[in-house]
Amino acid sequence: MSDVDVRRAIALLRRRVRSGRLMFPFVDETWNPIVGCDLGFCVYCWRRAWARRIKYNMELLWKPTLIRDRLKKRFKPSTVVFTCTMGDIFSWSVLDEWVEEVFEVIRRHPDTLFLVLTKNPARFLRYDLPPNVLAGTTAETDLDEVRGIPYSEISRAPPPRERLRALADLDHPLKFVSVEPILDFSSPEEFAEKIAETGAIAVAVGYDNHRNRLPEPPLDKTVALIAELEKRIPVVVRKSLRRAWFEE
Ligand code: SF4
């Protein structure tokens, strides 16, 4: 992808952010050709509460599945599609063939931007990524132990520091980092620098929305992080910002 295409992607994300849409505010629609996740069993996963509420089959929630019918979908140009929101596309048991089928659909829509967000970004390196993929990872923190809690007790996915390194190793111009739900981190400067080193063109920051009482940072520390990110990254999205639960 050329510089012009990168500038076009940044402009598209900025326009969408101003329009104040939900989820990530630049997203126009979601698309779930692969559902389920056996990657993280994260303590804060909103899908668990959602599944309980609607009495969804819990086994299916954690079992990655390709829904082939959804590969027939068509997408409008100049929109942003958030891909595989109901799981993680790079779950351990998702087959490479499934991912290739999803990427083939993405290639057929070169004027649409597809956000692919994962907690296992090392797997991006296995594929010839379509140029219109916004390759993203979640990094809730840059610490292995957060306020006395080992990160492995929060999620079994590869740890965030590894994810940031893997995204930095990816040779692709369109990258994204989600700092959500934010957990306490080293320092605003250090964490912002690690995120910038990935080459991300956009970052989103937000607190947990589901009262999980996570080991999160105080609000002033998060505000300082956002200020540092704004010095380094073209698009910075503020999501749910509030005082930490222990500040109330
Ligand atoms: S990796 Fe994502 S989808 Fe999987 S359990 Fe964690 S939050 Fe849920």
Task: Give the Cα separation of 71 and 34 in Å (integer).
Answer: 10
For ligand 1, atom 1, name the residue with the nearest CA: 40
Nearest ligand 1 atom, CA 38 = 4
Could you state, in order of their start, the residue ranges of all structural domains in the chain? Answer: 3-247
For ligand 1, atom 5, name the residue with the nearest CA: 41
Task: Give the Cα separation of 59 and 248 in Å (integer).
Answer: 37
Query: In percent, how much of the chain has pLDDT > 70?
Result: 96
Q: What pLDDT is stored for residue 22 in this prediction? A: 52
- What burial class does residue 180 get, using C-beta atoms within 10 Å of its C-beta: 0-12 exposed, 13-18 middle, 19+ buried? buried
Measured from CB, residues less than 6 Å from any atom of ligand 1 are 37, 39-42, 45, 47, 87-88, 119, 155, 157
pLDDT tens-digit map of 47-93: 777 777 777 777 777 899 999 999 999 999 999 999 999 899 999 99
Q: What pLDDT is stored for residue 20 in this prediction? A: 45
Task: Give the Cα separation of 232 and 195 in Å (integer).
Answer: 9
Q: Which fold has domain 3-247?
A: TIM Barrel (3.20.20)
Task: Give the Cα separation of 88 and 30 in Å (integer).
Answer: 13
pLDDT tens-digit map of 146-204: 999 999 999 999 999 999 999 999 999 999 999 999 999 999 999 999 999 999 999 99
Q: What pLDDT is stored for residue 185 in this prediction? A: 98
Q: What pLDDT is stored for residue 25 in this prediction? A: 84
**How far does the centroid of ligand 1 lie from the alpha carbon of residue 2, in Å?**
33
Alpha-carbon distances of 217 from 158, 177, 236, 241, rounded to whole Å: 21, 18, 18, 11
pLDDT band at 18 (very low <50, low <70, confident <90, very high): low
> CA 68: distance to chain centroid?
23
Q: Which of 30, 34, 38, 39 to mutate to test the pocket of ligand 1 (most atoms within 8 A of CB)?
A: 39
Q: What pLDDT is stored for residue 2 in this prediction? A: 55
